[in-house]
């Protein structure tokens, strides 16, 4: 019996499961679906396409292709031991490429009707493109609705089709946003390094500016942040720029102070003025040229495995500065 659609109901962000004929190299019309977690919350079984349960360890065999980008490979590889123990005759092939290429290839394959992986990671920004797609399986047929209470409501709701009838994606995580900072650079700059003390120091925009000035005073090749504009983007993430009459409104607490701080950062060269995802920024995180990175909590994994694998002990985490409210960054789906 060939394995097909569902490898797991978790993924690095969300899993979208292709219904394309022959996808993942399966050439059997009698394909079965398998899951690392049961479609039924109380069972460890897989399901055939007819809905028949197949017990773990039964004669289920075949190949599954999982597509995504490198941030998910370690997670999938870590899950393989448990999956292979239950389904020893199912071979899982991981195909990972960069994020942009992955999503472009996935869209092309879905439109063409062939070539898509059986399971695909989908980044939060792209979820709206997929949750209504008839090319993807409705995971309700595998009992996905039983998992609803395992997720925060806003993440779950993003996975549901607009008409409320289908679930084509399963979220993996949420991304509470924080500031990652280099304790060694903060110490050299005469700044506090304890997270609670850092929270207090950065609790106002004046404090943020003073910290940025202290870091840049170390040398012309030391910057507080890759791109200061990310700070006002975070501040305005859940604020409207205009009122109901379309008048620009910047009178709320922190609006003008934030913008003035970012302008001064740029004018005085306190931010590196590069995209935070660029090769230049990654190198600067690793060598300490950039002292702070505002990002989702998952960014810690990037630091450990890809960006700064030798940086143990150099990084700590504090709350977002200057009263910026709680934010979600990344995870899938995300807003």
CB neighbour list of residue 106: distance below 8 Å, 6 or more residues apart: 16, 67, 116, 117, 120, 122
Q: Name the percent of the chain lying above pLDDT 90.
A: 44
pLDDT tops 80 at residue 266: yes
Fold of 15-172: D-Maltodextrin-Binding Protein; domain 2 (3.40.190)
Sign of the Cα torsion 261, 267, 270, 276 reads positive
What is the structure's pLDDT at 330?
A: 54
pLDDT given at position 327: 58
Provide the pLDDT confidence category of residue 41 given band limits of 50, 70 and 90. very low
Q: What's the pLDDT at 214?
A: 98
* pLDDT score of 179: 95
Range with lowest mean pLDDT among 79-83, 187-191, 224-228, 260-264: 79-83
CATH number of 175-328: 3.40.190.10
Write down the pLDDT at residue 55. 54
Most confident of 35-49, 96-110, 211-225: 211-225
Tokens 């504090």 sit at which residue? Answer: 318
Is the pLDDT assigned to residue 18 strictly greater than 50? no
Most confident of 53-62, 233-242, 283-292: 283-292
Average pLDDT on 115-143 reads 88
For residue 285, what are the CA distances in angstroms to 68, 197, 210, 223, 256? 25, 22, 20, 10, 29
Q: Summarize the confidence of residues 328-335 as an average pLDDT.
A: 44
| Top-confidence residue, 268 or 251 | 268
Taking the domains of the chain in order of start, what are their residue ranges? 15-172, 175-328
**136-191: pLDDT as tens digits:** 999 998 888 898 998 888 889 989 999 999 999 988 878 788 999 999 999 999 99
Whether pLDDT at 253 is above 80:
no
What pLDDT does residue 24 have? 32
**For residues 311 and 303, what is the distance between their CA atoms, to the nearest angstrom?**
8
What would the mean pLDDT of 60-70 be, rounded to a whole number? 87
Query: Is cis: bond before 180, omega within 30 of 0?
Result: no
Question: What is the pLDDT at residue 57?
Answer: 57
DSSP state of 212: H
Integer Cα distance of 140 and 135 in angstroms: 15
Indicate the pLDDT class of residue 208, thresholds 50, 70 and 90.
very high
Name the average pLDDT for the chain: 80
223 contacts 284 by C-beta, under 8 angstroms? yes
Residue 64 token pair:
């599954």
pLDDT at 304 > cutoff 60: yes
Domain 15-172 shares a fold with domain 175-328: yes
- Predicted pLDDT at 58: 58
Q: At 294, phi and psi to the nearest 5?
A: -80, 125
Read off the pTM.
0.68
Of residues 81 and 201, more confidence is placed in 201
Instruction: Kindly indicate the confidence band of residue 74, based on its pLDDT and cuts at 50, 70 and 90.
Output: confident
pLDDT of residue 56: 54
Choice between 69 and 311, residue whose per-residue pLDDT is larger:
311
């Amino acid at each position: 019996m060939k394995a097909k659609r569902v490898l797991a109901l978790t993924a690095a962000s969300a899993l979208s499961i292709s219904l394309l004929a022959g996808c993942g190299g399966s050439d059997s019309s009698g394909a079965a679906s398998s899951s690392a977690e049961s479609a039924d919350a109380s069972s460890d079984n897989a399901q055939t396409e007819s809905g028949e349960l197949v017990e773990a360890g039964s004669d289920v065999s075949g190949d599954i292709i999982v597509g995504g980008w490198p941030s998910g490979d370690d997670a999938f590889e870590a899950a393989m031991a448990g999956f292979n123990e239950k389904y020893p005759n199912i071979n899982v092939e991981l195909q990972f490429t960069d994020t942009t290429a992955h999503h472009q290839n996935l869209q092309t394959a879905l439109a063409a009707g062939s070539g898509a992986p059986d399971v695909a990671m989908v980044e939060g920004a792209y979820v709206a493109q997929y949750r209504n797609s008839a090319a993807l399986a409705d995971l309700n047929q595998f009992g996905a609705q039983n998992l609803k209470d395992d997720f925060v409501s806003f993440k779950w709701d993003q996975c549901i089709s607009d008409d409320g009838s289908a679930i084509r994606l399963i979220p993996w995580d949420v991304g509470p946003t924080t500031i990652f900072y280099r304790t060694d650079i903060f110490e050299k700059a005469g700044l506090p390094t304890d997270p609670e003390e850092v929270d207090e120091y950065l609790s106002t925009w004046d404090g943020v500016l003073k910290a940025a000035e202290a870091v840049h005073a170390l040398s012309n090749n030391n910057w507080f942040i890759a791109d200061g504009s990310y700070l006002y983007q975070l501040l305005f993430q859940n604020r409207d720029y205009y009122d109901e009459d379309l008048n620009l409104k910047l009178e709320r607490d922190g609006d003008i102070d934030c913008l003035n701080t970012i302008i001064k950062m740029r004018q005085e060269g306190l931010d590196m003025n590069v995209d935070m995802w660029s090769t230049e920024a990654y190198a600067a995180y690793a060598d300490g040229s950039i002292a702070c990175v505002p990002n989702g909590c998952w960014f810690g994994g990037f630091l450990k495995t890809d960006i700064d694998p030798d940086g143990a002990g150099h990084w700590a985490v504090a709350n977002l500065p200057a009263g910026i409210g709680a934010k979600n960054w990344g995870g899938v789906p995300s807003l």
